Each structure stands twice: as structure tokens, then as C-alpha cells.
Structure 1
Amino acid sequence: MTSDLEPFRIYSASAGSGKTYTLTREYLRLLLGGRGGQPFREILAITFTNKAVGELKNRILDSLEAFAATRTDQERPSLFRDLQADLGTDRETLARRSARVLQEILHNYAFFDVSTIDKFNHRILRTFSRDLQLPAGFEVVLDSDALLERAVDNLIMQAGEAPELTRVLIDFALEKSADDRSWDIGRDLAETGKLLFNENHAAYLKTFDGKGISDFLRLREKLAGGQAACKARLLELTAEILAEIEGNGLETTDFHAGYFPKFIQKIHDGDFDQDFDAAWKRDFADRPLYSKSNKEAPREILDRLHPAFIGKFEEIRTLVLHRAFLKNAYTNCAPFTVLGLLQLELKRIEQAESLLPVAKFNSIISEELADQPAPYIYERLGEKYRHYFIDEFQDTSELQWKNLVPLIGNALEGEDEQGQRGSLVLVGDAKQAIYRWRGGYAEQFLGLIRGPGNPFSVQAKGYELPVNYRSCETIVRFNNDFFSELSQKLSNPDYERLFRDGNRQLPNSRDPGLVEIGFLHADPPDREAAYLDRTVEILARLRQAGYAYGSVCVLTRRRRDGVVLSERLLAEGIPVISSETLLLKNHPAVAFLIDLLHFLEEPEDRNHRFGILSFLAPDGVETHSWIHRHLEDTGRLLRQEWSFFASEMALKPAYDILETAIRQFRLGEESEAYLFALLEYALEAARHGDVSLGTFLEYWESKKDKLSIAAPESPDALRLMTIHSAKGLEFPVVIFPFADSSIYAEKNPKLWVPVDPGTYCGFSYLQINSRREVEAYGEMEAALYREERGKLELDAYNVLYVAHTRAVEALFVLTGPMTEKEVAEPRRYTDLYRQYLKHLGKWDGNTTTYSFGRLGQGRAVAETAGRDPLAFAYSSRESAQLHIVTQSGRLWDSPLETAKKYGNTLHLALSMIRTAGDLPGVVPRLIGEGLVPDGQRGPLENTLRQIVGHPELSPYFREGPEIYNERGIILRNKVILRPDRLVVDGGSAVVIDYKTALPAASHRDQVQAYAGAVSEMGLRLERALLVYISDNGIKIETL
């Protein structure tokens, strides 16, 4: 690599080939080139995840720090030596430049631009928000599904008010019901609505612009009318043929196997869903109607009728297939009928709440800013980038690339004041493109590498990174041979070339390593259980070989397979970190808190009571009996044993309830990450000002299947993740069970078919279901179907490639039964493994396990750096130093809010008074902190004087005794009680609790709990006072 590399460089980086090292080297080459100034201000590095951004930033900064500390040639890291060769400079100069650049970056960190593509787009949209008529403070929506559900619900709610919409929705529901499908149309509308956020469908949906319900209704009538016409003509033709057969005295047995008359009769009876795959149908014109072995057949009559039957048969074929196309299109048409209204409803919600889905970033920039000159965009951004780096380019969508091209072209094709051109470095691997469903476009990367897709006048120079630095030799050579051999199975020549030429990696490690392909035994009665058993067996072997669980990652293609694996491994006592174990809803403490919230919202619901009691049941008791005993008086149990007062808690915000519950039930001693996350989500649910319990529970129910914590660092816990989640990661050992996925599996596959607008009411594209029959619709549809099949093949191979290339030392694959039927064309991963082993001459129908290389000795997983446990902190009002004015202030005029605010303020003021001498300074302090309006000074001071000077209370505000205001008392069961005031004088104590609400039995229970706690402390209880404070004065109850 030289210092005058081409300005446009593309690196094909197969798995483990040092992609991040190359990116860092290229970036540092620009930083340390000796041009002076702050070159990082002119560099934009783009990748696709926040984690990748963090890794690249850390790699750059760590390298600069290490370079700056290099004092001798022996200390030089390999990257340092490479950069010396690139730049032709000596050690001292490079170290000095590194120190200077590192200091410049740290002092100007905001200009160190390593960013995700979405974050960069967000900057552009913020900058141009006024031009685009976006709200200045718009909020980015990451979960477009939740937004879509709201829009669908709102749209359905309009049924009955808008006649056209009502008719469409009712007709759609009836059609679904008639087809034996659920009449619930919400799911269909939501699925269609998702297309609005999917770049893969944007160009086709654009052709719907300006079309309303009436246009779609006309199209549906056209499609329905076409089906009816086909049906009528089919019945006419089949009636004619059957009449000819009967009129000529022919019987079914006169025809070859009776195929033809039976087929005609089926259609005449209304069974129009016929295929034409059978050999006799394909060759109908070339074969006689009778069997040559049938000597009794009236051959003369059949030969005479055959020419007429040929014409009618071909017309029947055309009609059946055309009707199938029309029916297919009609089925998909109904949800599109209201797509325009759905889009309008989404826009209304977005505008009303100042929302902008992240999925719309690319389309907005493309439509509104693509034609703006690059210098103008740079000027508005306040930056002028000259050098671009794009990582994981194979996952870049067409729209993302299109939006970047003008900016990059301006730098790449122009020169700055010093006559220097900008540069572009792309890094990627089309074999690892596994995100087509969200817009990733591997063909774009292939087009740039091979030439025709280059949008710039500057020629691209391609580089291969030939060495695999990740995996042991056996794994590298196995994958090279496996994927090169199987490339022949790909139907698209470009994809075949990709896998044929892209798997020639050289191993860096000479350690042998192991690859093991395991087949299930012949036709196991329970495949799922068989996969689980084999996985557990492999883990036992690895433990015997010295491997820690933390060295192992188990990969699955489907999340569902990961769920059953997690359950089985946990049942075996194997520690597991997985997406399921990281979900908040699956953690016992979180599940208990959610049950508790539901109990506060719905006290009569026995299911939530049962969940609460199951969690709280003490050790050493018979659980079911204990639950049965307390099921009817759960609220009383919570008051007496844990001082959790449900009636009071139900009025508080969700966040406060959760925090109080965590404290009272002592949940903060463990599971901090899950509890912190739950509290974070409680704040998130309340971000628009509604902090109520009901709002949070609605939020939880809609999000609970996605809310999780980040995976913790654990030295000896097995990782269980999907292949998509594991992309970019590596593990000493990888186990890949359930490796029997269908190559052509696709959820609800669709195709967009171009049609004549003149025939189809002005529509130029129709969407149809992608299925085998589409090949028969016509040449164009067949070509589209085959193209889509080719893409599915590539996606399946890419997923398999990613799974195979995560392992460092050992790869275990568990695939389907070895006795499954042999197929010429592979349809499942099992077929690929079987055909590869046959190619090697190793296949033996009696062998279930095939090994390559050998398993080494496991090494202990490095312990993570020790960290002090983070104590769970509470932000309760008695310790709060920061006071935030929220939108709830708008509600203070309501009686409930006024009462709550008054009670809270009075409690706070009393907690600040130890003796009567503290009274004069309390109210001024509260006014100074903004907690009490100056106009309320007089009434509040008057109330406080009445309390402190009350004849029954004044002795407890004198100097001398020990005073504890709002101080916690920890009981033996670790429950914390917090009386408002505890006065201790010698060995005796007085408990005082203030209330501003109406008297209630729960208040007496609460004070009695305080009294019991004081007795447990060894103090003699002198008095327990319940002080009610109201506009009518002060009332004191002695308990």
C-alpha cells in the first residue's frame, strides 16, 4: 500500500479478513499524512450500528494513543509499522504527529465524525427542517410498527362515518370470511401499511400517488369482472367439450388414463384452480388422446376430435392462468384501497405530535434535497467533507447510496484550494448481505466492484483482503471448499461467480481447528427434541475438553428455535445469555412489578394477585397453600408485611410506584440492570407528560416483547443468538443447530408486476403473491419469479456463510435427517451438506457425523475487569435535591392535583423542621427553590405554626430529644418503613405521621406498622399519633 493510492478504493472483505484494521489504517493514513491543521474535520466515516461506530472510534483513538507512546522500534505495533511504510516517515515523526492529532481530536471531539447513516441523515433533516416544513423540535420514531398500529386503529374507528371507507372495509372483511380466513382486517391493513416504511416498495407505491378509494374500487371491479368473464367462458368451453364427448359416444375409459375428460369435468364443476404441470398437459398437442395399449379405444373418433380439442384446451389453459392472475391481484388489491387514507392518517399523527419515523429519512432527503447543489448542503451543515469511508457497504440501500452520491461526487471529482482531490473508501462483502428485507442491496456492491454501477467519473480500484485472521486453518479451508463447490447450485451467474471467486482465503492460523457436520438419526419422532439433545451432547464434550460455556455461541436462524433452546439449556443448568433471557418481561422481579401495577389498576383481578403471591411466597412454606390463604386479602398482606399501601400507591405516577415497590420489597439488591431498564422505560412512557399508571401499562403491553437490556459481560455463560445478531462477531466455538432451513422460505412473499395502465384503470403495477403458479402466468411474470428465487438463494447462502464464519476454533453444524429423500436441486440446507459430502466421496448413509480437523484444548475465558457493584439509588422526595417542573403543572387547578400538591408540599416542609426554632426559615427556603408560590406563604406558615404549636404536639418539637424526620427503619425481612417523624428521648419513642387526606383504615394500619418497628428496635413506645391536617384545623388520633 503506498501513499498515493487511488482516490476511489473498494475493499472486498470476506469474514475475518481484517476489515476494521483496514478501515483504521486508511483513516489514520489521512490523519497522519502530515498536511497539518485538523484533517479529521474533513472526514466522514459511516457505518450502520452504534456499536460499530463505537468500535471504530475506539480503534482510532486507541491506536493514536499507542502510537504517541511508542519510544523504540521494538515497541511499534503492526499498524504503526504499516503506516510508516504507507507514509514513508520515521518513528519519531509518526509518534509526534499521533500525539498532536490525538490532542486535536479530544479538544474538538464534536468534529470527529464517525457516524451511523441514520445519525448523519438526522443531522441533515434537522438542518433543513424549516425548508422541509418539518417541526423544529420533531421527535424521531424508531418503532414505526407502533405508529402504524395507531393509524390502522384510527382508520377502522372511522368506519360508519365515511361511506366509501365503510363499504371497502366491510367488503374486505366479508371476502376474508368467505375464503375461510379471519375476518379481522386490522392485521392485513398493518401488513400493507408496512410497505410505506420499506424502501424496497417505494418506487412501486409512488405510482399510486393521486389515486383514491374510487380508483381502487374501479380496479377491483375490473379484476372481479375479468374473473367472472374467464369463468363464464371456461364453463362454456368445458360444456362444449363434454357435449362432444357424450355426442360421440365416448367414455372416460376411452381416453388415456381418463385424464382429459376428468380434467374438463373438474373445471366444469367450478374447480378453476388447476395447474398445467403434468406431462400429458404439457404435451397435449403432440400426444394422442388414447393409450397405445388400449386396443378397444375408438381411435378414429378421438383422432378426428383431437385438433378441435387442442384449440379449446389451449384456450382453457390461457383462461385458467389469466383468471389465476386476476384472482391473485384482486386478493392483494383490497388493503391497497385504503393505503392512501392510511398514509394520510399517519401524516396527521406525525404532524399533530411532531413525529418523524426514522424509516422516512432516506425518502425525504431523496425527494426534497437530492437536487440541491452539494456546496449548498455543505454550507448549511457547517462542514465540508473531502474524504468518505463507508463500512458494510453491502447493507447500504439504493436510496441511501443515491443520497450520498452528490456529496461524495463533489469531493471525489473536484479539487480543493491546494489542488487535492477527495477520496472514497468502501468496505464490504456481498456474501454477508443479509438485510435485503430492510433495504440492503448486495447487487449494488457487486455492480461497483465490476464496473457498471460506478456513478462517478473517477474509476474505482478494487482490493481483496486475502487472509483470514479469525479462524483456524481447518475452518478456513473447509469454508473455502464448501462454498466454492456449492456456488454451482446458484441459478444467477453473478451470484455463482461471487461464491466461486470469493472463497479463496488464506489461513493465518496454523492451529488445525474442527468442523463437524452432524445429521439427525433416521426420521426422529421429534425433530426439535433431537436437535436439543445433540446440542446438549456437544456442550458436554466441550466441557470435557476444557471449554468454558463463555467460549461457546449457539446460533439459530429463527428466533423461535432460540427460545426452545434457551428453555432446554436452562433446564440443564447451563448458564445462558440470550435475547429471551435479556427480555425484561422474562425476569421474575420485573414480572412481579408488572403484576403489582396491574393489581393497583385492577384490584379484583385474581391472575395478577396470584403472580404477586407466587413471587413473594416465603421459602420453606407450601407455596400453593400460602397463596390460597392470601389470595383474597392480598392488599392487607402487602400493608402488614411490606408496608406497601395499595390505595395510596394507585394515585401515584408509575415511576414513583415502581421505585417505591423496588425499595419496599428490597428488589434493588439484585437484578439492577433489569430494574434500571424498567424505570427508564417508565420515564420513556411518560415523556409526553402523562405519567399515569394506565398509560404505562398500555405502553408495556405494546412493547413488552421488545424491551430488553444489553447483554452483560459474563465470563462463563453461553451466548445464544440469531445469525443476524451474530454478524460481525466471533466466538471460540460455534454450534449451529436447526441447520435445515428452506432455501426458498419467505414470509408472505410478494411480487410487483408491470401491467398496461389502459387495461387496468390507470395502474401501471399490481402486487401479487409470489408462488409457483406465477411461472405459468406469462414470460414476464416467470422472469420476475425466477429473479426473486435467485435473490432468495443468495440470501440463504449468505446467512449460511455468516453462520459458518463466526467460529475461531470449532464449528459444529446440526442439520436434518440423513435419510431424507435425495433431490436434484437443493431446497434445504440439509441438501447442501449431503451433496457436498457426496462431492468429497465421504457420504455414507449410515454415518451421522462427519469431522474435519480435530478439537483442541479449551482455554479459560478471560475474566472481565472487576467492577464495584452499582448500588440501586432511589430518587424519593426526601432525598431529592433537584426539582423539575413538568407538564403536570397544567393540571394543578383540578381539585385532585391541588390536594396532592398541597399534601406533598406540607410533608416536605414538616420534614425540614426538627425543632420549633427551624420554623421561620422553612417557607422562605421553599419559595426560593421555586416549590411554593409567594402568594401561598401566609397560609402555609399559619398551618405549620398550628402544628408545631399544638398543645399535644409542641412537646415533640422541643430541643433535647433525638429527632428523625423521614428516616428509614430496616426490619428483619429487609422491608424499609419511613415514618414522618420519630422522637426518641432516652429509651422511649413517639411516632408521628401526618395525613392531608380523609381518614382511612389504611392510615391506622400504617402507623401501627411503624409502632411495631419501633418496638422491634428495643425502644419503649410512648405514643403513636396520627395527625390529620385540613382547612378545618388539626385532628389527632392516638393509637
Structure 2
Amino acid sequence: NIYPLALLNEIEKLLLEYKKENNILHISEFNRIISGIVLSQPVPFIYERIGEKYNHYLLDEFQDTSVMQWHNLLPLIENSLAGNHFNMIVGDGKQAIYRWRGGEVEQFARLPELIAKDDNPILHEREQALRNHFIGRTLSGNFRSKAEIVYFNNRFFRFVASTFREETGHVYGSPEQEFDPKNTGGLVTLEFLEKEEEKALSRTLSLIHELLEDGFEPGDIALLVRSNKEGALLAGFLSANHVPVVSSESLLLKYSPEINFVLAFLQFVNDPADSIAKASMLNYLAACGKVKGPGRNTLLQLAGKDTAAFREYLEREGYRVNTYYLAKMPLYELCEEAIRLFGLKNGVYLRFFLEEVLAYTTRFSNNLGEFLDWWSERQEQASVIVSESMNAVNILTIHKSKGLEFPAVIMPFANWKMSKGKRDIWIHPADEKIQNLGTALVPLSPQLERTAFGQAYREEKSKAFLDNINVVYVAMTRAAERLYILTSPPQPLKDLSRLFISYLEHEGSWDSARTVYNFGEKSPRVKKPRAGTRHFAPAELVAAGWREKLKIRTSSADVWESEGEEKKTRGLLLHYALSKIKTREDIPQAVHAMLTEGMIGREEAEALIQRITSLLDHEEIGLFFDGESDMRSESDIILPGGEVLRPDRVIIRSDKVIVLDYKTGKADEKYKTQLGRYVALLGQMGFGKVEGYLVYTAEGRLERAV
């Protein structure tokens, strides 16, 4: 292991440099830093404020607390006890399942003694303070489970404790759980299946149907597994068989075939030469029957060919994929296009994936390559979010189930190895032949037992066995009414199934020809009314292309004709430019603004300046752009009924008011009528003398109409 150690050393150097440059600390370092302070100071200054504010402390789940964490908390406990205040430590050594995270059950079992105190006088003083105030109480009553379940668990774990006394004695030597003998009606079923996933899945499905027929709701049932992989397997199988499931782990988006297809499609668009992405796409399409023709091997060979051949094949199958066009689409639209193009149906997963895409584009960017890099990390957390009140079968790991209870529990894969634990352990060689090697990481193999580190090997194997027994204990104590344990024929290495068989042999019940053992009997179940929460989801994901439904006008209707940009006229542009001009000097600035906004091109801008200049060269028209009078351009006149009129230009002089209306077409009587209405309204508004003129821009002609 010298090479991994060297690599770890280099990584640590880079990490230290990064933390120094950014002035940061990893949160896991705080316990170690605090430990260095509290173990050297009788009254650590860092706790002064906390000790003043709080008098009582409750430490829950103490069996999973690390030695360092406990030592760090001791000054607060000691200070509280010195003030004669009440403190409480709560835990259950049989539920210590977080040793891999530093939890040390031994320090709970040996309270009030402190472990790993060495010769530290401060720790010895704190231990004495604990001894002086310590009162141990055992809460042995079980108010959760039926009598039959508690009785079975008591006898099973009593057998385990007596058989493996060295490994479990300090934890399982405590009194057994007490139960109400009147609280009967529970059932424990221990069933041996062939060690095949398909049989365990099928049997789990049939048990769920049995429970539903017996009056249980889907939300009353929990499936407990050791790993997320097992949870995902169960969730996929049950969902395919129309059983509603809830699982934070197994509903991860990355487990959806449709999501993986969309990601492969995005990889292909990002890099059309990516053979793995093309193979993933074809594999999904073939599995779903969306493509016909050659077998899967031929399709995978096709993925290795050039992009043109791949696109031609998809086009023959009815999927037109233009990577050049797709690469220019916004990221969210691109995902919708993939869903629409290939007719993807898993709406729930796709909806949550699109929400992830939208959140990314809102917060970061629309860059496809960057999104794919981001998703490679995000996929471990992104999942379908469902309401906890949803009436569905619960799938969760045993570690997540700790502290919970369910009316019915099924353990579909209760066949793990009891020797499962660490693969490697740290040792301290202290060998004169190996200089400067204070610590080494070595494989946990049987050969280690025959070395000077045999004691370390045996201790680790013993702790690993206890860890696994505790996991079994947590799983088997979650059930209130029914517990179903599906295991397999025994294998070597102390399988859990071997342990069950040993227990049955001890009880005199084992029969090699028998596969099902029942303890207790089914009892009628009265359905409890559930809260009236209703859950619904759209039947399918709607991903229709908005471009076919919406037409976006690139500027206002005052500039473009209603038919669109392609039919804009020079007269409309001239009309718009005149609305932005107060005097002749404003012409270049107004036209440049139109050019900047993309309304006209450079050649059109030059022509427009010439047209406006020519129009204002008209002797009478030019007088209306002298800038000496108060001018209002395109100002609204709101009538009492809410109608809005908008004269093109109103010039307010000391002796009169002049109204101009620009017209790009030929003369028409309706123009005069409209202008007359403007003049009349201004008169009603209190302006004395009002004149009205029509400016025909195409002809460069001025006509007084009112």
C-alpha cells in the first residue's frame, strides 16, 4: 500500500495549500482542533459563552458518538454538573451502526468510565466528576411491537449473545425487552429462498399483496435493505408492477432509463463523435422497441461508425437529429426537444430532471458542456421528491430506518455476510527495521493474524461482527405487527442465513426440507383512517414546442407591419424616426439609436438620414422642427370612456397649437376626419386656437386639413 499512501500524502499537500490560499477549514477538522484545546485546559475558554447560556445537556444516540466528540463535550457536562444541574445521556448499544463514521459503542457500555484517557490528568478529573453524579437506568419496556415479535427477537439475540459472547457480551448482556403479554397478534416469518434476486423480488411482491389483502395500507409497509443499489432494484421492480413506492435513495434521477437516455443524447449533441453516448442511445431505443431492424450487437457496432451514418440510421427510423441546429438551442429547450423527438414517457422523472435543468440555467449558464460536468456530481443527490404523506410502500436502508417504526416490515435480502467490515486497517509498526514509518495501512487478511498485529486483526473482526449483528437488530425491531425475513441457504463466512439456521437448530425447529417458519399468527387488522390528503400527477409530460405556437415580433407594431418584419416599409421607419426627433440636429442621434437597436442596417440608416433631411428641407415643414416651441411627440389623449388617441406631433406656441399627423400613403378623407377629431379634443382641453396639418412623407407635401 506504499503507492496509495504516497498519493494520499500528495493530495493532503494540495489540500493544505488550497485551504491556506482560501483561508478555510474543513468542518471535519474542528473536532480535532477543539480536542487539542479541551484536553490541555481545565476550563477551555472556547466554551465560556456556551457554559453561561445552557445549564442542561441531552446527548441522544450516544452509542454512535466518537471518542473525540465525547471528550470535546465533557467540559460542558463537567461545568453543568458542578452547578448541580441535571444532564442526560441516552443510547442503545445494540443500535450502534455508525462505527464507520467514528462511533464507539464501548464508551457507552462502560459509562461512567472514560476510554482512551491515557495518562491525561484532566480526563481523569472529568471521569471522577461523572462517577460522582452518575445514575444508570435501563428502559426495558417495548411499547412498539406485538408480543410475538418482541419474544422472537429476545430469544434470537439471547442465542446470538450466548454463542458469540466474546464479540457481543459487553453490549448484549443487558436485560431483554419487556412487553405487554396482552398485546398479541404479531407474526414473524422466516423464509429461506434460493439465492436469486428474481425470487426475492417476486416473493416481496406477493407479500405486499398479502398485506394489502389483510387490511394494511401501502404506507404501512417498509422494505429494509443494506444498500441503495438493492433499494433501486426493488423500486424499479415494484414500480413496473404498479406498486407505489417512496424512497429517497431509490428515486434518484440517475436510476431512470429515460434520464440516462436524455443525458446520452446531450453528450452526443455536445460531442457527435462520442461512441459511448451513441451506444447508450441505441441501447435504450432497442430495449424500448423504438427502433427496429438489426440486433443489439449490430446497433452497438453502428455507434462506433461516423456521425453521418449514425444520423442516417436514426432518420430512417423516424428520428431526425440535426446536431448543428440542436447545439444552438438553449439547454432547457434542448432537453424538451429530446423528450418530444423520441416520445419519452416517464413523466415524473423527466419533470424533476427538467426542474434541475431550469435551476442550473437560472443560476449558472446555458453551456451544455458545463452542465454535463455539473450533473456528474449533482446526480448523486437529485431525486424525485414525494410527499411523506403519500400512501406508498417505503423503501429505505436499515441505517435510515433507525428510530422509525412501521406496522409491517419486509427484509427482502437478509443474506449478507456477517464478516463484512473494513478491508484495510491502520497499524503502528514501531519496527526498527522500518525507519520513519509511524503508521501503515494494511489489508485485513487472515495472514495478518499470524503477525505481531494479530490482536488488531482479531479486534477488528470482532467489531465488524458486532456491527453486522447491530444492523440485524435495528432491522428486526422496526416492525410493530408483521416481520418478514427473506434469507437464503447458508454459505460460508458466517452468513446471516447460517445464523438463522443455527438459531432454529438451537430451538429444535430446523428441518432441511422446510423453507418457511412462522412465529405467531396473523390477526384481523382494523384499518385506521388516513388523513384526507390527495395526491395526483399529470398523466404525461407535455413538452410541445413553443416555437410552433408563438410568433415573437422583434419590435413594436408602430414600426413593423402586422404581417412581420419582412414587410416593413421605409415609410413606417420614417414615421418612427420622426417621433424621436425634436429638431434637425436630432436626426443623426435618432437614426443611430435605431441602428443600435437592430431595427435597420447601416445602408438603411444612411438612406433614412437623407430622407428625413430632405423632408425637413421643405420650407413649411422645417418650421415645425425649429425647437423653439414646446413639443409633444406621440402623447396619449385619454377619453372619458377609456379610449386612447395619439397624435403624431403637437406643437404648443404662445398664440396657437399645431397638430401634425404623418401619413405614408396617398391622401384620403379619413385622414382629415381623424385629424379633425384631434383638433376638437385639444380645443375642449382648453387650448384656444388649434390648427391641423397632414404631412405626406412620401411626397414631401404639407396640407392644412383643419
TM (norm. structure 2) is: 0.65
1:467 is aligned to 141
* Offset at residue 791 of structure 1 (A): 0.7
Q: Does 1:506 align with 2:183?
A: no
1:692 is aligned to 367
Distance 1:636 1:915, change over 3 A: farther
2:405 is aligned to 730
Distance 1:645 1:534, change over 3 A: closer
1:763 is aligned to 437
Separation (CA, whole Å) in 1 of partners of 2:279 and 2:511? 56
- Structure ranking higher in helix proportion: 1
After superposing the two structures, state which structure 1 stretch, 384-393 or 578-587, moved more. Answer: 578-587
Q: Does 1:784 align with 2:456?
A: yes
Letter in 2 for 1:431: K
Counterpart contact for 2:331–2:361, Cα < 8 Å: no
Query: Secondary structure, in 3 states, of the residue corresponding to 1:817?
Result: coil
Of 542, 548, 564, 2:211 maps to 542
Question: Paired residues, what number?
Answer: 555
2:109 is aligned to 446
Distance 1:844 1:776, change over 3 A: same
* Offset at residue 376 of structure 1 (A): 3.9
Aligned pairs (5 A) from 1:292-371: 332-351=1-20, 356-367=25-36
Letter in 2 for 1:865: T
* Offset at residue 375 of structure 1 (A): 7.1
* Offset at residue 518 of structure 1 (A): 1.6
Distance 1:484 1:795, change over 3 A: same
Query: Secondary structure, in 3 states, of the residue corresponding to 1:735?
Result: strand
Separation (CA, whole Å) in 1 of partners of 2:355 and 2:476? 39
Counterpart contact for 1:577–1:717, Cα < 8 Å: yes
Distance 1:676 1:365, change over 3 A: farther
* Offset at residue 586 of structure 1 (A): 2.4
Letter in 2 for 1:516: T
Letter in 1 for 2:75: P
Query: Secondary structure, in 3 states, of the residue corresponding to 1:516?
Result: strand
1:624 is aligned to 292
Distance 1:782 1:636, change over 3 A: closer
1:166 is aligned to none
* Offset at residue 341 of structure 1 (A): 1.9
2:523 is aligned to 856
Separation (CA, whole Å) in 2 of partners of 1:581 and 1:767? 34
Distance 1:394 1:915, change over 3 A: farther
Counterpart contact for 1:685–1:691, Cα < 8 Å: yes
Query: Secondary structure, in 3 states, of the residue corresponding to 1:503?
Result: coil
1:650-684: CA deviation from partner (whole Å, max 9, x where unpaired): 3577567557878999999942x764466447756
Counterpart contact for 1:487–1:497, Cα < 8 Å: no
Distance 1:406 1:669, change over 3 A: same
Letter in 2 for 1:342: I
1:412 is aligned to 81
Separation (CA, whole Å) in 2 of partners of 1:637 and 1:356? 57
Of 183, 187, 192, 1:519 maps to 192
Counterpart contact for 2:140–2:176, Cα < 8 Å: no
Separation (CA, whole Å) in 1 of partners of 2:196 and 2:340? 46
Question: Percent of aligned pairs with the same residue?
Answer: 32
2:511 is aligned to 844
* Offset at residue 801 of structure 1 (A): 0.1
Q: Does 1:834 align with 2:511?
A: no
Separation (CA, whole Å) in 1 of partners of 2:340 and 2:537? 17
Separation (CA, whole Å) in 2 of partners of 1:746 and 1:611? 35
Separation (CA, whole Å) in 2 of partners of 1:782 and 1:679? 54
Of 264, 285, 288, 1:595 maps to 264
Counterpart contact for 1:713–1:864, Cα < 8 Å: no
TM (norm. structure 1) is: 0.46
Counterpart contact for 2:404–2:478, Cα < 8 Å: yes
Counterpart contact for 1:374–1:406, Cα < 8 Å: yes
RMSD: 4.9
Q: Does 1:398 align with 2:67?
A: yes
Separation (CA, whole Å) in 2 of partners of 1:423 and 1:533? 53
Separation (CA, whole Å) in 2 of partners of 1:846 and 1:937? 97
Of 244, 252, 257, 1:583 maps to 252
Letter in 1 for 2:372: L
Aligned pairs (5 A) from 1:806-845: 806-817=478-489, 827-845=494-512
Separation (CA, whole Å) in 2 of partners of 1:752 and 1:586? 39
Counterpart contact for 1:590–1:674, Cα < 8 Å: yes
1:457 is aligned to 129
Counterpart contact for 2:424–2:441, Cα < 8 Å: no
Separation (CA, whole Å) in 1 of partners of 2:79 and 2:546? 57
Separation (CA, whole Å) in 1 of partners of 2:274 and 2:3? 40
Separation (CA, whole Å) in 2 of partners of 1:657 and 1:407? 57
1:767-804: CA deviation from partner (whole Å, max 9, x where unpaired): 322222222224xx232222222211211110110110
Counterpart contact for 2:406–2:478, Cα < 8 Å: yes
Greater Rg, structure 1 or structure 2?
Answer: 2
Query: Secondary structure, in 3 states, of the residue corresponding to 1:462?
Result: coil
Letter in 1 for 2:509: K
1:978-1028: CA deviation from partner (whole Å, max 9, x where unpaired): xxxxxxxxxxxxxxxxxxxxxxxxxxxxxxxxxxxxxxxxxxxxxxxxxxx
Aligned pairs (5 A) from 1:69-108: none
Separation (CA, whole Å) in 1 of partners of 2:354 and 2:31? 32
Separation (CA, whole Å) in 2 of partners of 1:837 and 1:542? 25
Distance 1:335 1:632, change over 3 A: closer
Unaligned runs of 5+ in 1: 1-331, 416-420, 879-906, 923-935, 960-1039
* Offset at residue 754 of structure 1 (A): 4.1
* Offset at residue 581 of structure 1 (A): 4.1
Query: Secondary structure, in 3 states, of the residue corresponding to 2:90?
Result: strand
Q: Does 1:496 align with 2:169?
A: yes
Separation (CA, whole Å) in 2 of partners of 1:660 and 1:846? 58
* Offset at residue 630 of structure 1 (A): 11
1:515-553: CA deviation from partner (whole Å, max 9, x where unpaired): 111223xxx5x5444434443443343344333443322
Counterpart contact for 1:582–1:708, Cα < 8 Å: yes
Separation (CA, whole Å) in 2 of partners of 1:353 and 1:852? 61
Aligned pairs (5 A) from 1:474-485: 474-485=148-159
Letter in 1 for 2:481: E
Q: Does 1:650 align with 2:331?
A: no
1:430 is aligned to 93
* Offset at residue 735 of structure 1 (A): 1.4
Separation (CA, whole Å) in 2 of partners of 1:646 and 1:368? 61
* Offset at residue 472 of structure 1 (A): 1.1
Separation (CA, whole Å) in 2 of partners of 1:790 and 1:610? 47
Query: Secondary structure, in 3 states, of the residue corresponding to 2:137?
Result: strand
Query: Secondary structure, in 3 states, of the residue corresponding to 1:363?
Result: helix
1:907-937: CA deviation from partner (whole Å, max 9, x where unpaired): 99x7673435999xx9xxxxxxxxxxxxx99
Separation (CA, whole Å) in 1 of partners of 2:284 and 2:234? 25
Distance 1:636 1:941, change over 3 A: farther
Distance 1:568 1:660, change over 3 A: closer
Letter in 2 for 1:632: R
Counterpart contact for 1:433–1:795, Cα < 8 Å: yes
1:315-342: CA deviation from partner (whole Å, max 9, x where unpaired): xxxxxxxxxxxxxxxxx33322343222
